[in-house]
Amino acid sequence: MGAGSSILDRLDETIVLSPEERILLESVRGLASDCIAPAAERYDRTGEFPSENVAAINALGLNAMFVPEVFGGTPLSYTCYLAAVRLISAACAATGIIWATNFHAMKPLVDFGTQEQKVRLLPRIAAGGLAALAITEPQAGSDATAMTTRFTPDGDHVVVNGGKVFITNGDVADLLLVFGKWTGIDDPRAAITALIVEKGTPGFDILRTEEKLGIRASSTAALAFADCRVPRANLLGAPGAGLKLLLASLNTSRPSVAAHALGIARAAFEDAVTYVNERKQGGRRVIENQGIQFLLADMATDLALAEAWLWHVGRLVDAGASDFAVEASMLKLRASDVAMRIATDAVQLHGGYGYCRDFRVERLFRDAKITQIWEGTNQIHRQFIGRSFLER
Ligand SMILES: Cc1cc2nc3c(=O)[nH]c(=O)nc-3n(C[C@H](O)[C@H](O)[C@H](O)COP(=O)(O)OP(=O)(O)OC[C@H]3O[C@@H](n4cnc5c(N)ncnc54)[C@H](O)[C@@H]3O)c2cc1C
């Protein structure tokens, strides 16, 4: 075993976690290796929703870690949550994002919901319910403020009309946090409002689920709302308060999608190291060529630095920081670029075998691509980070 192989493990040992969190993460590690990883190839091939994985995650009670105790949860640190996302995603990126989406969608309810809403809705999530976060529309992707879904007040109800696309868990979620515009507020940004729609509400339909390049077992749904009447009690925040909520929710979901990307990157890196140590060509192991060592050096260095920044952002959030949007954006940008590059290089290091399904790197390569696209494309993140240095 080379000295370099312990670098990433040593970095993991520096993650700030309580003894209870370490024990829980050991259980997550066991679940990932014994149950989730072995099924990943099958779920990728069939594109079937990994219900067994979701059930196993719920048997460990993992949703409870992001729900406050009074609402049925067992809260743990954000760092612990990120570490769990990374472990599950390394085993199966589709399952990792399904679970992480529960957090992305429900964190705004935890942070901005009324007591009544939390008492009514959060125990369902703590007990293992699925959630979805619905922002994107056909004409409103990078510019979410262009959304046209309408929320029209009608007595004790809000009437929803419009549609969403690309919604992770959209067809399976028990609760959907949906963003739309409040009828009667003209300013397009000030009109954005958040509403929780419950599964089975009349007027809410699933139009289709997408056939995808990667994360194939996670469902990505197009949703339609036609005169869908939702109790006004499900409004999250005041009419027009949605943009603030949306930005706050992205701040905590972006590190989480970075953890997902770094799970993929770590798996691809480990597979590549194993392979070039075993594969022989020209009478020696592939790793003995200096050109291959240079490639591994760059992969390892980029991965270690991105992981270190993941735990830095985790610490910021756990310390109660409120303004970490640029750090979160830098993390999402770099983690996803690193994941794509490491997965690409890992395929290269497997030669022709890396291009075939017999090896996991083929799947990791396809799974990595989405990480550069969602939660703000990397073009948008570069703009946001660069603009933060603009003196006004
Ligand atoms: C598998 C999957 C799961 C998803 N899950 C969810 C989900 O759960 N909830 C949800 O709400 N959304 C989800 N999305 C949507 C995702 O966040 C959007 O696809 C993403 O924000 C980009 O929007 P778009 O696809 O409309 O691309 P566009 O915004 O049309 O972008 C097209 C290209 O133009 C570039 N571009 C756009 N604007 C600019 C600009 N101002 N400057 C420079 N370049 C620009 C982009 O970077 C991109 O390269 C998901 C998408 C996928 C594919």
Residue 392 binned pLDDT confidence (cut-offs 50, 70, 90):
confident
> Could you give the CA distance from residue 181 to residue 241 in angstroms, rounded to a whole number?
10
Q: Which residue is catalytic, options 69, 327, 375, 391?
A: 375
Q: Measured from the CA of 168, which atom of ligand 1 is nearest? A: 8
Q: What is the mean pLDDT of residues 291-313?
A: 98
Residue 374 binned pLDDT confidence (cut-offs 50, 70, 90):
very high
Pocket test for ligand 1, best of 142, 147, 246 (most atoms within 8 A of CB): 142
Residue nearest to atom 12 of ligand 1 (CA): 136
pLDDT score for 2 = 74
Distance 380 CA to ligand 1 centre (A): 9
> Could you give the CA distance from residue 237 to residue 359 in angstroms, rounded to a whole number?
48
Tell me what percent of the residues of the chain surpass a pLDDT of 90: 97
**Would you call 162 helix, strand, or coil by DSSP?**
strand
pLDDT score for 3 = 75
Check whether 379 has a pLDDT greater than 80.
Answer: yes
> Could you give the CA distance from residue 267 to residue 151 in angstroms, rounded to a whole number?
43
Answer whether 373 contacts ligand 1 (Cβ < 6 A): yes
- Residue 77: beta bridge partners? none
The one-letter code for the residue type at 215 is I
Is position 211 annotated as part of the catalytic site? no
Check whether 242 has a pLDDT greater than 90.
Answer: yes
Q: Which residues contact 323 (CB under 8 A, 6 or more apart)?
A: none
Give me the phi and psi of 82, to 5 degrees please: -60, -40
Quick: pLDDT tens for 48-83.
Answer: 999 999 999 999 999 999 999 999 999 999 999 999
Answer whether 257 contacts ligand 1 (Cβ < 6 A): no
Check whether 126 has a pLDDT greater than 70.
Answer: yes
Check whether 4 has a pLDDT greater than 90.
Answer: no
Pocket test for ligand 1, best of 179, 374, 375, 381 (most atoms within 8 A of CB): 374
Nearest Cα residue to 177 out of 105, 279, 244? 105
Quick: pLDDT tens for 174-189.
Answer: 999 999 999 999 999 9
Distance 134 CA to ligand 1 centre (A): 13
Quick: pLDDT tens for 79-119.
Answer: 999 999 999 999 999 999 999 999 999 999 999 999 999 99
pLDDT score for 385 = 98
Check whether 1 has a pLDDT greater than 80.
Answer: no
E strand segments, the chain: 131-134, 150-154, 157-168, 175-182, 192-198, 204-209, 220-231, 235-236, 280-281, 284-285
> Could you give the CA distance from residue 84 to residue 308 in angstroms, rounded to a whole number?
16
Q: Measured from the CA of 132, which atom of ligand 1 is nearest? A: 8
Residue with tokens 């949605």: 242
Answer whether 182 contacts ligand 1 (Cβ < 6 A): no
Pocket test for ligand 1, best of 149, 166, 167 (most atoms within 8 A of CB): 166
pLDDT score for 227 = 98
Answer whether 379 contacts ligand 1 (Cβ < 6 A): yes
Answer whether 134 contacts ligand 1 (Cβ < 6 A): yes
**Would you call 90 helix, strand, or coil by DSSP?**
helix
> Could you give the CA distance from residue 178 to residue 169 in angstroms, rounded to a whole number?
13
The whole-model pTM stands at 0.98
Quick: pLDDT tens for 194-228.
Answer: 999 999 999 999 999 999 999 999 999 999 999 99
Q: Write down the mean pLDDT value for the chain.
A: 97
Contact status, residue 100 vs residue 107, Cβ threshold 8 Å = no
Helices 93-112 and 242-278, packing angle to 10 deg: 160
Q: Measured from the CA of 218, which atom of ligand 1 is nearest? A: 1
Nearest Cα residue to 133 out of 242, 280, 260, 1? 242
In this structure, the number of other CB atoms found within 10 A of the CB of residue 212 comes to 18
Residue 37, token pair as written in the block: 């990883």
